[in-house]
């Protein structure tokens, strides 16, 4: 049976990917940040032992290590890692003509710790299992906001910089894991109807579950999964500019 580890699985895209992978026969380990959120519990009732819920704040090294320990205790390998967990934050949205406060900078540090260092912590914690897997795939959810060449914004410093750094992280990972046959995909999921800003963004254009199906479909595209193919793209497989 194929195995997967999904972070940020409580709701939104992470929950959607968890559901889709379960439907496709995976055994899934789901990082749960909000134990009071009921969506994951419903999936657990439906899929039973094929879904394991792991308490997980990806900015907490202890929780990252504990989650990896549970997976390693049950599995000899992992086929797929989906680094989905992330935050949008509220700090640093203005221009350089605004006066940033210390709380703004603290917020930007938090964005970097979660959006950039968090996925690196998680990847490092299970990389040995990924290398031993058959799928050998790491999906990291980034954003077009991390594209320097495609930038159109005049604010949102913290979020954009955290995603640009995440793109660089993914590129380095792909180069360093190439000889081991691991494929890294760094994906822009579109403008999702998600809770990243703290409340549901009802103005957004993309439903998380529909995007999750599209992303899962990329795994079956041999052209995109070739180790020499581009790794930074949107959820439809269209390459993006760094």
Please give the pLDDT value at position 196.
63
pTM: 0.94
What's the chain's Rg over C-alpha atoms? 17
pLDDT digits (tens, 9 = 90+) for 162-190: 999 999 999 999 999 999 999 999 999 98
Is the pLDDT reported for residue 91 higher than 60?
no
pLDDT at 96 over 70: no
Average pLDDT over residues 46-57: 97
What's residue 193's pLDDT? 72
pLDDT for the residue 117: 98
Which CATH number, 3.40.50.300, 3.40.50.150, 3.40.50.720, 3.30.1360.30, labels domain 3-234? 3.40.50.720
Backbone region of residue 33 per phi and psi (left: phi > 0; alpha: psi in -120 to 50; beta: other values): alpha
Instruction: Tell me if 208 sits within 8 A of 13, measured CB to CB.
Output: yes
pLDDT at 94: 58
Pick 204 or 64 by higher pLDDT: 64
C-alpha distances (whole Å) from 112 to each of 16, 161, 167, 176, 207 are 24, 8, 12, 22, 26
- Domain spans of the chain? 3-234
Coil/strand/helix, residue 18 = helix
């Amino acid at each position: 049976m194929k195995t997967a580890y999904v972070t940020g699985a409580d709701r939104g895209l992470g929950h959607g990917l968890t559901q889709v992978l379960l439907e496709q026969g995976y055994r899934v380990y789901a990082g749960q940040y909000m134990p009071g959120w009921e969506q994951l519990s419903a999936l657990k009732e439906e899929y039973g032992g094929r879904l394991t819920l792991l308490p997980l704040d990806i900015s907490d090294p202890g929780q990252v290590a504990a989650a990896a320990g549970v997976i390693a205790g049950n599995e000899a390998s992992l086929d797929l890692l989906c680094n989905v967990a992330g935050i949008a934050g509220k700090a640093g949205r203005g221009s350089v003509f605004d006066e940033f406060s210390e709380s703004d900078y603290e917020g930007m540090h938090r964005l970097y710790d979660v959006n950039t260092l968090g996925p690196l912590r998680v990847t490092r914690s299970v990389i040995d299992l990924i290398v031993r897997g058959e799928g050998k795939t790491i999906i990291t959810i980034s954003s077009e906001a991390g594209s320097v060449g495609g930038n159109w914004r005049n604010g949102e410093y913290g979020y954009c910089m955290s995603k640009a750094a995440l793109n660089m992280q993914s590129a380095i990972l792909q180069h360093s894991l190439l000889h081991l046959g691991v494929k890294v995909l760094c994906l822009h999921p579109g403008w999702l109807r998600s809770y990243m800003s703290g409340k549901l963004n009802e103005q957004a254009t993309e439903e998380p579950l529909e995007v999750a199906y599209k992303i899962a479909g990329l795994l079956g595209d041999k052209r995109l999964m070739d180790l020499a193919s581009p790794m930074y793209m949107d959820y439809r497989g269209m390459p993006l500019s760094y």
